[in-house]
A and B are shown apart, each in its own frame.
Chain A
């Protein structure tokens, strides 16, 4: 009598194990598929961005030039006119996508992105003050944006650090500082000349139009330092998602990891904002979208960065070529106008968990 029961139990175990394995395989496949599709989309959009413009280029011309071809108009147009802007868009997308993913996972709050916790507002206040008070332009605006964002980062660090770095202290202090910075911006905007106020507003929306090789290489240099560091802490961050106690028992120092991750997030957000202005909504939306596409509750840093690239480059194509030429809207308008409804649609139709 007992043998069939045992058999039944063993068979059940087998089925369960098979199911688990199949499930893991399916998740792995989905992960690969999502990553490949996102990467392909990013590449396709990049090539499209290089093709479009007053002087249309074909796919062959673009790829030929990138491969080192030397035809006169195509080379100048791609290398001098379009590639800097594209490169800036890609770098900004990577930086903001990563920054958002880092903040949202380490602070365990889906609302905690650099545009909510004050980094973007600090950078805006710095830049707007430089433009409206000091009458500065160009690199000086970027520099004071960097200073503003970094100052907010340090201030939050000082405010939130008390026998360790607690996520909620950082987030709430950040929102407080964000409102103060927004007030400073509001004050400056209402006390300045209307034309200058509009220029400041343009900067605060985020734009890629100012791209040149100097700016791109500076930003690339900064990312060359920050992104490898992100990869170094990524494993620790993965463990941290299990909770402080588990992570600690696995040999991790939760405080140190959290501090490092936050510092990297602030750094990424600051350099991207200094280069292109606070491009709206990219950092906020990249990680939730990437996680929704994966649907397995993992960290999804690479995928978030790719979503960031797709969003920024795609939005810049829309802003430059699809909207009426007279409008000439900056990229930040489109990222918000496209990213917002897309995220709403994901939430309304999605089947997987958000947290």
Chain B
């Protein structure tokens, strides 16, 4: 574990809490505004630029046969909505992962969830010949859930039960195993490699809207659980023993968080592919704004995720016009400098 700073525990002092609350509210309002701006940009910009007025017309009073309106309604609206939902799910999942493993380098990929989903998608492509994003959906979900069951189950066996370190190590071990199997398939089956290499980078493009409506209930349940889990995560951050002493049911709390992570990650992976980086960076940004209180970190992560993912998507559309760079690739290039800048500023990092 990284060295915990003395201020890691939620401070009990009232003024400090109020300040965090105030900053949290301001940040939340600002982020909501940013989401609106980025969503508008996502509707306007792309291979073809469309004026804000035309976007508005396309949304409220579409003219049949107008090419711009068609682009907005059929391509950019689904894409924007998927970015919003996927980003929120990834951001929340990342905050939960870092809280439950007490490890600031945890991301949604860590529990093996992304690789479980990827393995299932590979199986679908290679074994069953599935070839569309809507077809991948259930495989990704099943793979994510299976990975979580295996990892959590293996980590809870043994002497000490589930500890954050065991959870992280078992997750990484599962990831390695799944990656090996994926590699075997990819090295022997060129057609599968051709499909998989595009799915694997993560993108918002060419996703039909009914994928979103299928996934949405899971995301909503996951988000509600995530927002409710802040108190549990605050207790867990103090260590299992202290959390138990505070009357927290540690095992049940951790299980709740893991279930929420599966719902969120499974949905996000089936929507946009395995983009884990959003989930790594966003909680750090949130922590830099509001401090160590997980109730605020989770909330801000839910709002920051969409901003980052959509921004990456818009940038990806603009840098290589008329073609585009996948959002999953742009996210890392935008996010890494942010992460490094944050990390440089920090003295001690609360896990």
Contact = CB atoms under 8 A, between A and B. Distances in A.
Contacts of B175: 340
A289 to B, nearest CB: 10
A339 B344 CA distance: 34
Given A197-B193, A201-B193, A284-B172, A186 B105 contact: no
A341 interface: yes
Contacts of A355: 1, 165
B339 A183 contact: no
Interface string A320-355: 000000010110111111011101110111110111
A296 B68 CA distance: 68
Given A190-B197, A340-B180, A350-B158, A173 B169 contact: no
Size bracket of the B interface: 35 or more
A248 interface: no
A262 to B, nearest CB: 15
A337 B335 CA distance: 31
A339 B193 CA distance: 24
B176 interface: yes
Interface stretch (B39-47, B121-129, B227-235, B325-333): B325-333
Main secondary structure of the interface of B (DSSP, over half): helix
Contact of B173 (A160, A329, A343, A349): A343
Contact of A189 (B107, B165, B197): B197
A336 B180 contact: yes
Contacts of B154: 344-345, 347-348
Contacts of B237: none
B184 A329 contact: yes
A111 interface: yes
Interface stretch (A78-86, A137-145, A164-172): A164-172
Contact of B158 (A111, A159, A180, A348): A348
Nearest to B284: A172
A133 interface: no
Contacts of A350: 158-159
A341 B3 contact: no
Interface residues of A, number: 61
Nearest to A341: B177
26 contacts: A159-B340, A168-B104, A172-B339, A172-B343, A173-B339, A173-B343, A175-B105, A175-B280, A176-B340, A179-B277, A179-B335, A179-B336, A183-B332, A183-B333, A186-B328, A190-B198, A194-B190, A194-B193, A195-B190, A205-B187, A284-B172, A332-B183, A339-B176, A340-B174, A341-B177, A354-B163
Interface of A: 108-112, 116, 159-160, 162, 167-169, 171-173, 175-177, 179-180, 182-183, 186-187, 189-190, 194-195, 197-198, 201-202, 205, 280-281, 284-285, 288, 327, 329-330, 332-337, 339-341, 343-345, 347-351, 353-355
Interface of B: 1-3, 103-105, 107, 110, 154-155, 157-160, 163, 165-166, 168-170, 172-181, 183-184, 186-188, 190, 193-194, 197-198, 200-201, 276-277, 280-281, 284, 325-326, 328-333, 335-337, 339-340, 343-344, 346, 348-349
